Amino acid sequence: MGEDWDDLADWWSTESTDDPVYAADVHPMYRELTSDLSGVIADLGCGTGQAMQMTGPQTIGVDLSMDLLSQAGSIGPVVRTCLPSLACFVDNAFDHAASIYLLDLIRDDAAFFSETARAVKRGGSLVVVMNHPVFLAPGSGPFADPDKEIFWRWGSYFEIGSSQEPAGHRNVEFFHRPLDVLLNNAAAAGWSLNVMRERPLSPQVLDAFPEFFGQDTIPRLLGLRWTNIG
């Protein structure tokens, strides 16, 4: 069962609009990976629907939170479901599927890849923008040496695991998989990788937040685009 975000809806509406990481880093990466997609596109974990505007009027927002879907519904059609299940959609329902900051919240990534491969037409794309697994591994984090140079502790990178991360007034469970697990599960479901992007926070975000000092060499965002060859 997925975690309901209804009690986080007010916080997320403000956070996703105001967070400079969205404007400087997340949306440019998403735009790059989706700009040539057209037709019926599923925005998985659409939240307030702000990315639905980027992928066009035939985008269908899919989310678990009624409160967030009621906002996304002013942008386009929406459907409530608990991902990774897409059982409410027939096979080949979509030309493409895309998501921002959703896969980290899904316990069963293999089911995410097999369900999207079933619901997206052969030749269609799957785009995922997410926290980089190096950033999200349980126990990972920055540390400074005596000269104040910033290094990254890998934590339990090679283990599949989860961590509780602060979100609004409570914590949310985030799921970590090393990159090889993610990419092999996607390949097993019939997703052929076309593009992979790994990015640190951009200079403008690093300049704006002193707590991120020195993290210009740390992977923060991961962007992936596959074609359905199953």
Which residue in the shown chain puts its C-beta closest to ligand SAM?
A: 2
- CB of 207 vs ligand SAM, minimal distance in Å: 23
Question: What is the per-residue DSSP string for 49-79?
Answer: STTHHHH-TTEEEEES-HHHHHHHTTTS-EE
By C-beta, is 50 or 59 nearer to ligand SAM?
Answer: 50
- CB of 143 vs ligand SAM, minimal distance in Å: 27
Antiparallel, parallel or unpaired: β 125-131 and 221-228: antiparallel
Antiparallel, parallel or unpaired: β 221-228 and 191-199: antiparallel
Q: Is 112 helix (H, G, I), strand (E, B) or coil?
A: helix
Contact 39, 98 (CB under 8 A): no
By C-beta, is 12 or 94 nearer to ligand SAM?
Answer: 12
Nearest of 167, 193, 136, 164 to residue 47 by alpha carbon: 167
By C-beta, is 12 or 212 nearer to ligand SAM?
Answer: 12
By C-beta, is 165 or 216 nearer to ligand SAM?
Answer: 165
By C-beta, is 83 or 222 nearer to ligand SAM?
Answer: 83
Q: How far apart are CA 215 and CA 55, in angstroms?
A: 31
By C-beta, is 50 or 228 nearer to ligand SAM?
Answer: 50
- CB of 170 vs ligand SAM, minimal distance in Å: 14
- CB of 67 vs ligand SAM, minimal distance in Å: 9
- CB of 17 vs ligand SAM, minimal distance in Å: 9
Q: How far apart are CA 53 and CA 46, in angstroms?
A: 11
Contact 172, 211 (CB under 8 A): no
Sign of CA dihedral 122, 123, 129, 130: positive
The site for ligand SAM (CB under 6 A) is made up of 2-3, 5, 12, 16, 45-47, 50-51, 63-65, 68, 82-83, 100-102, 105
By C-beta, is 87 or 144 nearer to ligand SAM?
Answer: 87
Strand ranges inside the chain, DSSP E: 41-44, 59-63, 78-80, 96-100, 125-131, 141-144, 150-153, 161-167, 170-176, 191-199, 221-228
- CB of 144 vs ligand SAM, minimal distance in Å: 29
